[in-house]
Amino acid sequence: MLLKKREVSSKQLTLEMLERRLPKSHPKTTYYQDLLNRTRAGYAGEQRVDREWQSIYLEQTHYLLHDVALKDEGGSIHQMDTLLMSQNFILIVEIKNIVGRVEYMEDNHQFIRITSDGRVDGFRNPFDQVKRHARFLRRLFQMRGHHIPIEYIVISANPNMIMTSTFLSQPIIHVSGLAERIYQLFKQHQQVCLSEKDLRELSAHILTRHKPIQWTLDIKVDELKKGALCSHCHFDHVLRYIHGKWHCSNCQSIDNQSMLIALHDFRLMISNNITNAQFRNFFDIDSEKAVYYLLKKLKFEAIGEKKNRKYIIPAKLLDEM
């Protein structure tokens, strides 16, 4: 049973906002674009593995939780790509979407990739990551009086990742082998360690402790473009609000959806709420009355009275487009 689905991370959403609003001439534009490309590739790899789970049939009671972030007693974050919660064992899944020939130097815990042009890149060791998560979950469950095997695995989502013989003794597989590995784990762990009630309660406890990681900007807001940007012009031109419509002076199109994208961006850039004055400043609109009717039409939740009134920008605003 899917208990928690995977969503686009705040990191990706923020980088996509920067793609629209960071001027092309900015010295960090290339850096952020490369980071966005890698983040999107990682998310695509996670979705590839998520689709594989849909083809796996399990008779045993189980829960799937994708993209779980838990904080331990020391304040450190444990971000797990997927958790399989069953009555027999818990499985932690770490997903990698790497292209190239990959080697693991066990003695110094080094994870490296050699590209086709001979470049050597280092990566954070995923085996140490999942072992760290396993130790944390083991403590967490024991504190609640439960003792259950904790398994972990690293999954390559990209068929073009070539693993050398240095991985033979490591818990890593290509995504195509996921179903077989899951069936093997259930054969290996036939003892039931949790009742169905305990499994539900533990899974619910994980959900209550989950705190999504918020990726913060390391760039000043005043370096970014304000206003509604024309999607037809690749967000290069600012739209003007004239007689109830958003006009682009460059391509002459009307793009009324751009305001929602801009409010979504405002939420990431500045705040999850906006006042009439902030709206007028951000969108360069003089009329307080016009903005009042725009906000009223959006039907945002409002808090405060009169001049102090703030309108809550929904997190899922773009889902309605």
- Any idea which of 105-114, 182-191, 288-297 has the lowest mean pLDDT? 105-114
pLDDT in tens, 199-232: 999 999 999 999 988 888 888 999 999 999 999 9
> CB-based contacts of 103: which residues, under 8 Å, 6+ apart?
111, 112, 114, 164, 166
Average pLDDT of the chain is: 92
Angle at Cα 312 formed by Cα 308 and Cα 316, nearest 5°? 170
The mean pLDDT value for 79-89 works out to 97
Domain boundaries, the chain: 2-209, 225-320
The per-residue pLDDT for 258 is 93
Q: What is the reported pLDDT for 320?
A: 58
**Residue from 271, 266, 312 nearest 21 by CA:** 266
- Give the mean model confidence (pLDDT) for residues 191-195: 95
Domain 225-320, classified CATH 1.10.10, yes or no: yes
pTM, full prediction: 0.89
Query: Is pLDDT at 85 greater than 80 in this prediction?
Result: yes
Confidence of residue 259 (pLDDT cuts 50, 70, 90): very high
Q: How many CB atoms lie within 10 A of CB 223?
A: 13
User: What local confidence, expressed as pLDDT, does residue 321 receive?
Assistant: 56
Q: What's the pLDDT score for residue 16? A: 96
Report the interhelical angle of 276-283 vs 258-269 (nearest 10°).
110
**More confident site: 30 or 125:** 30
In whole angstroms, give the CA distance from residue 60 to residue 63.
10
The arithmetic mean of pLDDT across residues 171-190, rounded, is 95
pLDDT confidence of residue 313: 95
Instruction: Examine the pLDDT at 95 and tell me if it is beyond 80.
Output: yes
Is the per-residue pLDDT at 319 higher than 80?
Answer: no
